[in-house]
Structure 1
């Protein structure tokens, strides 16, 4: 029977619906398991030896395996990727980034074929995977909390196949249409037991965190040890954050040698598994956050849904608690009594960006600066110790001197994408380049892929939403190491030629082509790219929303008015103190104007994003929360939050011999985790993701050598 039989034929699967609610309280070095909050496994991870026997795996019967999908089946939900910093009561590493901390609400989709399987062990395994991921991201000031698990008992909610591209597309589409409206979250990951084609063991879009269309990924549960899937999940999540592969050309610093696992974003995975991030990953994360990636990461998690009952010392301020700074031996907050979770004498607050010296900051105090031209500032309300949830300009607002439109808090333009691909000095090519090249429907000119997986030709009206065409910049693409530069000469009727520069970037099997124009990019006057089509910007409804602001404010992503300094929300009709019902007042009563006018923010003063404590929700139908205790000092930067969703399946599989640990290093992971764990043995050599990329994407009609992709330059005439 095929490994896919359970997924494809629901009659073969005897599944039960199990809404489970867990709260493995994540203490530092704590192993989050059902009802057992021991500290043993994290301490093992800290000093992980090179032998597998020292890491105790959860025993899942040999003929079953998990598939966790980010928008799929049974759901596991993480309610918390939160960025640690400030005095929010969570303990963060001493070495912190000057970027953001965030809580990512992750949702797992999980489908289980019940053939004598132990559901409790399955839940334990998923919790362990989530906790490993949390452990990895602590070093980046990011925390993860699992909050839910859902088992599909009848059939897959979206098609799951061995084609990773199709599976990722279907899963992300299902998440956007079905899952997001029901369960708000930041990101979703699918963990699957289905073996993907080739060497791929994971795939995720890059720089897609918080977007409705692409914030998620797919992961193959390739190891009996949950650490294996956790590393792959952390890797794919890294791509969502904007992290690229750690290739030799980048000169990344990794504090773990290769024989000790190396770093998480290495293109291939092997044994021992990597457990740390490189210097390149940290730089990539910082750069992405500065561009506005992760706008959803600033919101506090909903602690009421956390399973496991209330507990003083778990780092979450729950009902009846005034504060919670963790266990007494961990608490560094001078305002909170760790034993009773009550405020100390004379203290008014203990946590939050709007709490300083155990006192509330005045209303109108800036607590979160803008990160880019599409962001909006937030201010203390004077009534809460927490900075209001992050808000930004409504999709469709003009930005970058009216050359672009805001989309998910980022100003998307062809120019910026050309610079990302080709470096400084690059600019968009004339429109004729987009029209001629993207009408081909080949790897170098297309509007994505159709339902059959073939490259789709662009209609003339949609040409600027296909492959990006540029001029100028570096001699070869500056993103990725395996890229083909395509220079197309287009003759003009009046004589002469126009040189168009395109690219096909091989970032890896786990990442879609970054050479396609990004959603939300301006493709004409009052026109924007959505779903590879050039549509009227009215699709966002921004003009209708802004129309209710009386000409004295702008519309934010929650469809509320953000008023100028002297006008009051909600509609900027009467005198007031500016801001919105979401962001707090721009100035306190009786204060002198001390803020930059809104129009300046629209023009786009881009500043570093300092966030204090941000949490986003990881939705997963197994509710569980991870905790992190902050130091009391407000020295740490503020960090955004992520809502992360992961879907997982549990399916029948044949026992693989010699999988853990593998006989040889696992094949390389092409910008997505790539490996078949034992499938590569048949080739007689270690088949890396890069080599697989080169093999699969070989542009045969150009007669390129498999070994020439790193610096290939194609010149053609149209």
Structure 2
């Protein structure tokens, strides 16, 4: 009988094997039972493909053939699962070489007292750092074995992690810088909380009902507490709390129900393994029906008496607050040692399996009451990786520095794309401004721009003689005055006399205008114009700039949009046979201002 996953536990530290007088037969049986201690179950059909029956089969077969030599792939998978859970913590520790049977010997593979290294017999040694003949280091070699030995030439720096945590209840170890070997393995002291307070650490493993359901069914979860209480109270092969000394199944008390047969909820058709069957029970609790699923592993013809029932809850599983399963009973866990150790750690660390403080980062062992790097006196000095510093330096050199250089290039180098972009933007702005100015009157030449004259401005370069305008109501708007000059004197037919008058602009709305004193016009012969006069020319010259003779050239200055406002005494307008002043009808408020009289043109 070998307990499953019982390796490194105080309750299962001894073993007796008396199977055969043939030493190789006893060795095969011992290997089989140790396999159970490592969490290996019996091989089911299809597992052992590494060796045939004629070759001896596999070590973990339910009925072994004579002299098996290999483990199956299923056994290797079980071993990996056991180590991932944190099992076998004691296997990482170096044995005491003084306790070896047979005395010291160079070539046995163990570095004993007086030896610098030992790589086995000369014909099987593959170590480049060790002389197999005398178990000494080769020239310039500092070490030959151990995970803290780096390429024979030097020891790894103190604080380098040499063994990471295996599971939630394990602790890391670090190289000391003085030995090629990693320090002995330590883990959280039994009773330490794990799995967010749902379980306790036991022998370096965090054992929960959920974990065991996953191991038996795949995707599953623990059943309702009522399932444990009802099913395990039967005291039969399907629900019990183990067997007594006579081999009879024992009923579980209500307080011990969660330490008997494991009950799960799962949608799987059957449990894992070829020898396991599902035991389904439906109970009624709280007015609803609950399906409970247990497992039963039946024995083959050759028997499986060396393997405990895998459907029983594992020892060390939490069954209540401050309680764990031991001997199929839910017992109070003695955490006195844990509580004492926690007090010594000043709340800045946890307790390891040796009863020493494993300090958090920033606190120094042994009592975690002073600043330091963390760790414990058992795990070696801690040297945390400067990941943040490395990332910061990489960011500075790969991102910030190129960015600064790029900005310097853009601002300092005139031929850079940045300056080209700025110049193109300025050109676009200037061209848009020119387009806006051109769109005001259609011309770029400032000589053709019309200027708005305020109501109090006077017309520049005009004669002091002004036409009489009666003051009227002042309007905010202004009305342009167009002065039309014929291009050439118009000739009248023979004998025809035409009265020429200076056309006055329309008066503003108000009192009726007073007619000025009229002077008889002087008769003048005018030739008919060759071209009709425009009704409303777009631009007209200033009166003061008119030449003495008609000219075909356009005026040099435009007429202001609005003449100056103001009132002046009435004067008699002079007749002008060669020039007419015309005012277009007012479309809005009538203008108020001064209009300069135009001197008559001399007819040639």
* TM exceeding 0.5: yes
Conserved? CA contact 1:587–1:594, under 8 Å: no
Which residue does 1:500 correspond to in 2?
292
**Alignment partner for residue 563 of structure 1, among 331, 356, 359?**
359
Match of 1:586 among 382, 391, 396: 382
Shift of 1:352: 0.8
How many Å apart are 1:224 and its aligned residue?
4.1
Equivalent pair of 1:217/1:237 in contact (CA under 8 Å): no
For residues 489 and 504 of structure 1, do their structure 2 counterparts lie closer, same or farther at Cα, with a shift above 3 Å needed? same
Match of 2:188 in 1: 393
Which residue of the other structure, out of 456, 475, 480, is the alignment partner of 2:269?
Answer: 475
Q: Is this contact kept in 1: 2:86–2:204, CA < 8 A?
A: yes
Residues in 2 aligned to 1:594 and 1:382: alpha-carbon distance in whole angstroms? 24
Q: Distance in 1 between matches of 2:41 and 2:314?
A: 17
Partner Cα distance (2:136, 2:388) in 1 = 36
Structure-1 separation of matches of 2:189 and 2:208 = 16
Further displaced range: 394-403 or 553-562? 394-403
What is the distance in 2 between the residues matched to 1:325 and 1:406? 37
Specify which of 18, 26, 29 is matched with residue 232 of structure 1: 29
CA deviations over 1:107-139 (Å, ceiling 9, x no partner): xxxxxxxxxxxxxxxxxxxxxxxxxxxxxxxxx
Matched, 1:410 2:205: yes
In the TM superposition, what are the counterparts of 1:11-90 in structure 2 within 5 Å? none
With over 3 angstroms needed to count, the CA separation of the structure-2 counterparts of 1:218 and 1:303, relative to structure 1, is closer
SS of structure 1 residue aligned to 2:211: helix
Structure 2 equivalent of residue 336 of structure 1 = 130
CA distance in 2, matches of 1:573, 1:491: 55
Q: Residues 271-315 of structure 1: CA distance to partner in whole angstroms, max 9, x if unpaired?
A: 4x3222222222222222222221110001111222433322222
1:362, distance to aligned residue in structure 2 (A) = 0.8
Q: CA deviation at 1:384?
A: 1.0
Please state how far the C-alpha of 1:374 moved relative to its aligned partner: 0.9
Q: Deviations for 1:584-614, whole angstroms, at most 9, x for unmatched residues?
A: 11218xx74789xxxxxxxxxxxxxxxxxxx
Q: Find the aligned partners of 2:277 and 2:75 in 1 and give their Cα distance.
A: 24
In 2, the alpha carbon distance for the partners of 1:404 and 1:292 equals 14
Q: Note if contact 1:216-1:240 (Cα within 8 Å) is conserved in structure 2.
A: no
1:446 match: 240
Tell me the SS of whatever aligns to 2:91: helix
Of the three residues 156, 165, 172, the one matched with 1:361 is 156
Q: State which of 95, 107, 111 in structure 2 corresponds to 1:313.
A: 107
* 8 Å Cα contact 1:433/1:500 also seen in 2: yes
Residues 265-344 of structure 1 mapped to structure 2, 5 A cutoff: 265-271=60-66, 273-344=67-138
- Offset of 1:389 from its aligned partner? 0.7
Distance 1:352 1:441 in 2: 52
Separation in 2 of the partners of 1:594 and 1:584?
23
For residue 372 of structure 1, report the CA deviation from its aligned partner: 0.8
The answer to whether the aligner puts 1:212 opposite 2:5 as a matched pair is no
* 8 Å Cα contact 1:506-1:513 kept in structure 2: no
Q: Which residue of 1 aligns with 2:215?
A: 420
Match of 2:486 in 1: none
The alpha carbon displacement at 1:399 in A equals: 1.2
Question: CA–CA distance in 2 between the matches of 1:540 and 1:444?
Answer: 37
Q: 1:233-248 alignment to 2 at 5 Å?
A: 233-248=30-45
- Tell me, what secondary structure is at the counterpart of 1:213? helix
1:369–1:376 CA contact under 8 A, matched in 2 = yes
Match of 1:485 in 2: 278
Q: For 1:494-547, what per-residue CA distance to the aligned partner results, in whole angstroms no more than 9, with x for missing partners?
A: 423222111222362211111111111111223222222223334463222222
Q: Which residue of 2 aligns with 1:252?
A: 47
Gaps in structure 2 of 5+ consecutive residues: 390-604
Residues 315 and 219 (structure 1), Cα distance of their counterparts in 2 relative to 1, 3 Å cut: closer
Whether the 8 Å contact between 2:43 and 2:74 is mirrored in structure 1 is: yes
- Distance (Å, rounded) in 1 between the aligned partners of 2:279 and 2:52: 37
Aligned with 2:225 (options 431, 443, 450): 431
8 A contact 1:252–1:278 mirrored in 2: yes
Superposition deviation, residue 489 in structure 1:
1.8
Cα pair 2:57 2:65 within 8 Å, conserved: no
Q: 1:458 pairs with 244, 252, 255, which one?
A: 252
Q: Give CA deviations for 1:347-405 in whole Å, capped at 9, x if unaligned.
A: 22221111112211111000001111111110001111110011111111111122211
Partner of 2:441: none
The answer to whether the 8 Å contact 2:53/2:65 transfers is no
SS at structure 1 position matched to 2:229 = helix
d(CA) in 2 for partners of 1:536 and 1:303?
39
Output one character per residue of 1:409-460: Cα deviation in whole Å (capped at 9) or x when no partner.
Answer: 1110011111111111x11111111112222222222222223332222221
Aligned partner of 1:30 in structure 2 is: none
Could you tell me the TM-score, scaled by structure 1's length? 0.51
Structure number with greater Rg is 2
Cα pair distance change 1:226/1:351, threshold 3 Å: same
The 3 A distance-change label for structure 1 pair 216 and 246 is farther
Pair 1:378-2:141 in alignment: no
Contact 1:204 / 1:218 at 8 angstroms: preserved in 2? no
Map Cα deviations across residues 193-251 of structure 1 (whole Å, 9 max, x no partner): xxxxxxxxxx3222221122235655451x44322222122111111112222221xx2
Aligned pairs for 1:563-712 (under 5 A) are 563-587=359-383, 592=386
Whether the aligned pair in 2 keeps the contact of 1:246 and 1:278 (CA below 8 Å) is yes
Report which of the two has the higher share of strand. 1
Q: Is the 8 A contact 2:58 2:64 kept in 1?
A: no
1:473: how far off? 4.0
Greater RCO structure (CA 8 Å; 6+ sep): 1
Aligned residues: 384
Deviation per CA, 1:7-42: give whole Å up to 9, x if none: xxxxxxxxxxxxxxxxxxxxxxxxxxxxxxxxxxxx
The alignment partner of 1:490 has SS state of strand
* Cα distance per residue 1:76-126 (max 9 Å; x no partner): xxxxxxxxxxxxxxxxxxxxxxxxxxxxxxxxxxxxxxxxxxxxxxxxxxx
Superposed CA offset, 1:464-500 (max 9, x none): 111111112412111x3223422222223x4232221
In 2: Cα distance, 1:232 partner to 1:214 partner: 17
Backbone CA RMSD of aligned residues: 2.2
Distance 2:227 2:41 in 1: 28
On the 8 A contact 2:48/2:58 being kept in 1, the answer is: no
